[in-house]
Structure 1
Amino acid sequence: MASEFSRVFSAFDRDDDGKISAAELRLCMKAALGEDVSAEDADELVASADTDGDGLLSQEEFLKLVQLEAAAEEERCRGLKEAFGMYEMKGEGCITPLSLKRMLSKLGSHQEIDECKAMICRFDLDGDGVLSFEEFKVMMDA
């Protein structure tokens, strides 16, 4: 794990100075993740973990940033699982048109089953007529 992390740090440290700048962070996030991060957001990310105030991330500070981001993603995923659980058909592990209709009715939005099918169809990536948790995550990110 430590050597893998060192490789990741080295890949982000484009100028090989032992520190990661906001510009390097932006470049690598675009190349590795396809995420286009603004200069302001990159500056904020660096500042959130920059404990010595030099405007750069050391390997230790970069690890802190990665851990903060992982914890935030874990919390987000936990919230999405709770939301998914409210909509899913109990025991099925998926959201069906009927379970969606029931939950929307509880929330005061009365939809016909065909409308619920159409809502699901938009994010049903595998075409099975229901939403898995992974498809639900895609839908929530849209």
Structure 2
Amino acid sequence: MDKLSQYERVFKQLDGNGDGKISPSELQQCVEAIGEELSAGDAAAVVTMLDADGDGLVGFDDFVRFVEGGEEEEKENDLREAFKMYEMDESGCITPRSLKRMLSRLGECTSIDECEVMIARFDLDRDGVLTFDEFKVMMML
């Protein structure tokens, strides 16, 4: 089952009356059905936050945008955690020395020169270090 089909299935579960939109009360009922609490005010606030066309309801496109956005945020957080492992002294960048240190922890024996070459491949501003944005580009390949 592809992602879009999975999203449709979940959306239909939330859309109690089958009108193709999720209302605050439908959201509240679904949350309560799984044993959690959500006040009417909080449900309305969530719907308002997700509602792109201003009709007071969450359409399928709004739902997909929310779900996909959450996945992107999760990926970004995972990349930030990985980046922190490679950076040195919370400097905000990966240096050849910090890369060598991390690679040696992983059992890879590399020289500083080899690390400089690795960094140079993705060092977009040519400052000799990798920023988080450069690291993210590298990890997306």
TM class by shorter chain equals 0.5 to 0.7
Alignment of 1:1-142 (within 5 A): 44-50=2-8, 51-52=11-12, 60-142=59-141
Once the two structures are superposed, residues 117-138 of structure 1 have per-residue CA deviations (whole angstroms, 9 ceiling, x without a partner) of 0000000000000000000000
Code of the residue aligned with 1:47 in structure 2: it is S
Task: Tell me by how many angstroms 1:89 deviates.
Answer: 1.4
**Does the Cα contact within 8 Å between 1:45 and 1:65 map onto a contact in 2?**
no
| Counterpart-to-counterpart distance in 2, 1:135 and 1:49 | 32
- Alignment coverage as a number of residue pairs: 97
Once the two structures are superposed, residues 66-102 of structure 1 have per-residue CA deviations (whole angstroms, 9 ceiling, x without a partner) of 1110110111111100000000011310000000000
**Does the Cα contact within 8 Å between 1:98 and 1:113 map onto a contact in 2?**
yes
Q: Tell me which structure has the larger Cα radius of gyration.
A: 2
Q: Provide the residue aligned with 1:34 in structure 2.
A: none
Code of the residue aligned with 2:119 in structure 1: it is I
**Does the Cα contact within 8 Å between 2:84 and 2:90 map onto a contact in 1?**
no
| Counterpart-to-counterpart distance in 2, 1:74 and 1:132 | 18
SS in 1 for 2:59: helix
| Counterpart-to-counterpart distance in 2, 1:76 and 1:100 | 21
Q: Which runs of 5+ in 2 are unaligned?
A: 14-19, 22-57
Code of the residue aligned with 2:134 in structure 1: it is E
TM-score by length of 1: 0.63
TM-score by length of 2: 0.63
Q: Which runs of 5+ in 1 are unaligned?
A: 1-42
| Counterpart-to-counterpart distance in 2, 1:47 and 1:70 | 17
CA root-mean-square deviation = 2.0
